[in-house]
Structure 1
Amino acid sequence: MTTANKSITVVSAHSADFVWRAGGAIALYHDMGYEVRVLCLSFGERGESARLWKQGKALEEIREIRRAEAEKAAGILGAQVQFFDMGDYPLVPTKELENALVQEFRAHPPEFILTHSLKDPYNADHPRTTELVLECRILAQAHGYPSEYGVIGAPGVFLFEPHQPEQCDFQVDVLLDISSVFERKRQAMECMEAQEHLWEYYTDVAKRRGVQAGRNSGGSIRYGEAYQRIYPYVGGVIL
């Protein structure tokens, strides 16, 4: 399997989550020749679009604005984006959504999956998404689950950094150097105009993680992203 045939999957509860938290990884893997598939379960229209509500926008208009923002950001990062329009606050997974994700994983077997933290006392939509992703990964491995596609292997699952990591029991296992693609991540962030207040916040996060990455590698890294892995690394050597 060549790099051009490989894919990674990012499952985002809301339409902007993948940009703030995994935009660097998306751009990096796109540049390495991977197909990057972003699955947005909702547009974040109710709980993450306060600026638009204050402007007097209606629900349907807000959904379309958030869709357009995410599509533009995904294009900058090099990702394909798919919307499931499940609604948010609360985001309530259904059997139909579960099956759609299983079929997605089987049709496009990911090398690894990126999604939310397991705990987030500030946003219940995030851990609900993660629980769903882990369940769907298991189902996609089951030979008896009905599908026209074959079973998947054992893709790694990495959790991207939540907004308040200390309150979410987030453990940093991976620091990813995104220095070479950060300007594109910043451009993608600036597409999310409904949440302009987060542009500088996540720029500062990337700078801090870059400093930490440099200290842990002995190199000079300007920007980074942090991830927590769910399943253990398996290999013939300890890296």
Structure 2
Amino acid sequence: MEKMAKKTGLVVSAHSADFVWRAGGAIALHASQGYDVHVVCLSYGERGESAKLWRKGNMTESLVKQKRQEEAEAAAEILGASIEFFDLGDYPLRADKETLFRLADVFRAIQPHFVLTHSVMDPYNYDHPLAANLTQEARIIAQAEGYRPGEPIIGAPPVYCFEPHQPEQCNWKPDVLLDITSVWDKKYAAIQCMAGQEHLWEYYTRVALQRGVQAKRNVGIASPKVISHGEGYQSLFPRVTEDLS
């Protein structure tokens, strides 16, 4: 009998904590289901998202990067994901053609069954839509027969944009509500690894509770399914199906 390839997921995070706040539940849930989930952190968030570390004094950029990497690695281990860091800078995050090809190579290596990344609009943080655009373009390149001919191309994995900090300002509307109740403890443990942004722990707990209430409402109040925590996602591409249930 032919052995089936293991399912995989790819998460592209602009900064070293974004994947935890916004997709930690999805990562832990799919890891628990046997998926290999890989996280790419484009930046450590060393300038704009590490205020608590800088306020300690006697800090350098290299020390902040080291601390942020340690936090992200600890969180990824809890969630059950592998992780790598591109170190593209922060505020501003910038990517050249070689970076684009590097991410396309990750797509080819991972062969993801789904992709999670940022919203395509975020007026509060230009690094986030840049990460989203980079992810989409790398996906297209990884599909191209003419890119590194002879290598296996990828299929068309669905891309889901995870929740931005202020969704109403980002033209982000969730069309997927993911039940993360069974892995909330893991997500919160990963959140607690992000000591450099402790002020966000309670905020993202409230977000998860709110999405949990909405998820429960959308399966029906009469349903016996218990949903306490959720994550919201906006899909970029149509779902192809033969079953509308």
Asked if these proteins are the same fold (TM beyond 0.5), I'd say yes
| Residue 230 (structure 1) aligns with | 236
How far residue 38 of structure 1 moved from its aligned partner, in angstroms, is: 0.3
Instruction: Return closer, same or farther for 1:214/1:40 CA change in 2, 3 Å cut-off.
Output: same
Contact 1:40–1:83 (CA under 8 A) maintained in structure 2 = yes
| Residue 179 (structure 1) aligns with | 181
How far residue 108 of structure 1 moved from its aligned partner, in angstroms, is: 1.3
Name the Cα RMSD after superposition: 1.2
How far residue 204 of structure 1 moved from its aligned partner, in angstroms, is: 0.4
Q: How far does the alpha carbon of each residue in 1:19-69 deviate from its partner, in whole angstroms, 9 at most, with x for none?
A: 000000000000000000000001000110011111111111000000000
Give runs of aligned pairs for residues 49-68 of structure 1, distance below 5 A.
Answer: 49-56=50-57, 57-68=59-70
The whole-number CA distance in structure 2 between the counterparts of 1:54 and 1:163 is: 23
| Residue 192 (structure 1) aligns with | 194
Instruction: Return closer, same or farther for 1:147/1:186 CA change in 2, 3 Å cut-off.
Output: farther
Determine whether 1:120 maps to 2:107. no
Tell me the matched-pair count.
Answer: 239
| Residue 216 (structure 2) aligns with | 214
Contact 1:4–1:34 (CA under 8 A) maintained in structure 2 = no
How far residue 149 of structure 1 moved from its aligned partner, in angstroms, is: 2.5
Q: How far does the alpha carbon of each residue in 1:125-157 deviate from its partner, in whole angstroms, 9 at most, with x for none?
A: 000010111111111111011256311111000
| Residue 37 (structure 2) aligns with | 36
Question: Pick from 113, 129, 138: which aligns with 2:140?
Answer: 138
Question: Helix, strand or coil for the counterpart of 2:40?
Answer: strand
Q: Mean Cα displacement is larger for which, 139-148 or 160-169?
A: 139-148
| Residue 104 (structure 1) aligns with | 106
How far residue 2 of structure 1 moved from its aligned partner, in angstroms, is: 6.6
The runs of 4+ residues in structure 1 deviating greater than 3 Å are: 1-4
Contact 1:88–1:125 (CA under 8 A) maintained in structure 2 = yes
Question: Helix, strand or coil for the counterpart of 1:5?
Answer: coil
User: Structure 2 length as normaliser, TM-score?
Assistant: 0.95
Determine whether 1:47 maps to 2:48. yes
The whole-number CA distance in structure 1 between the counterparts of 2:219 and 2:120 is: 27
Q: Mean Cα displacement is larger for which, 224-233 or 138-147?
A: 138-147
Question: Helix, strand or coil for the counterpart of 2:108?
Answer: helix
| Residue 168 (structure 1) aligns with | 170
User: Structure 1 length as normaliser, TM-score?
Assistant: 0.97
The whole-number CA distance in structure 2 between the counterparts of 1:47 and 1:33 is: 35
The whole-number CA distance in structure 1 between the counterparts of 2:66 and 2:150 is: 33
| Residue 72 (structure 1) aligns with | 74
The whole-number CA distance in structure 2 between the counterparts of 1:74 and 1:216 is: 30
The whole-number CA distance in structure 1 between the counterparts of 2:215 and 2:113 is: 23
